[in-house]
Structure 1
Amino acid sequence: MRTFDVLVIGAGAAGMMCAATAGQRGRSVLVVDHAEAAGKKIRISGGGRCNFTNLHTAPQSFLSGNPKFAISALKRYRPADFIALVERYGIAYHEKTLGQLFCDGSAQQIIDMLLAEMGKGSATLALQTSVEAIEPGADGFRVRLTSGLVFARSLVVATGGKSIPKMGATGFAYKVAEQFGVPVTETRPALVPLTFEPKMLESLRPLAGVSLDANVRSGKTSFREGLLFTHRGLSGPSILQISSYWREGEPITVDLAPAIDIEQWISEARIRSGRQSVVTTLAEILPRRVAELVVAEARLSGNLADLDRKAMARLIAGVSAWQVKPVGTEGYRTAEVTLGGIDTTALQSSDMQVKSVPGLYFIGEAVDVTGWLGGYNFQWAWASGRAAGLAI
Structure 2
Amino acid sequence: MERSKNGVVRWKKVVTQVEDHLIVPVFPSGLSRESYDEYLREYQSKISREKFSEDKPLWEVHLIKYPSLNGASTLICKVSHAIGDGYSLVSMFLKGCQRADDPSLPLTFPQLSLKRQGDDGKCTVIGMGKKMLGFMGTSTCLEDQPSAIRKEASTDMKTKLFRPFNIYSVTLSLEKVKQVKTKLGATVNDVITGLLSYTIHLYALRKTGMDQYSKDGSTTDSNSGGANTNMTLAAMRAFEGFANIEDMIRADAWGNRSRSMFIKLPTFTNLEKVNPLDFIVKAKETMDRKKNSMMFYFIDKLLNTALWIWGQKGMEKLVYSSFKNARTMISSVIGPKEKMALYNHPINSFYFFTSGIPQSVAFFSVSYMEQLRLVVTMEKGFIDSKKFSSCVDAAFDDIFQAAFENSQDKDYTVTKART
Q: Same fold (TM over 0.5)?
A: no
Mark the structure with the bigger radius of gyration. 1
Superposition TM-score, scaled by structure 2 size: 0.27
TM-score for both structures, normalised by structure 1: 0.29
More strand by share: 1
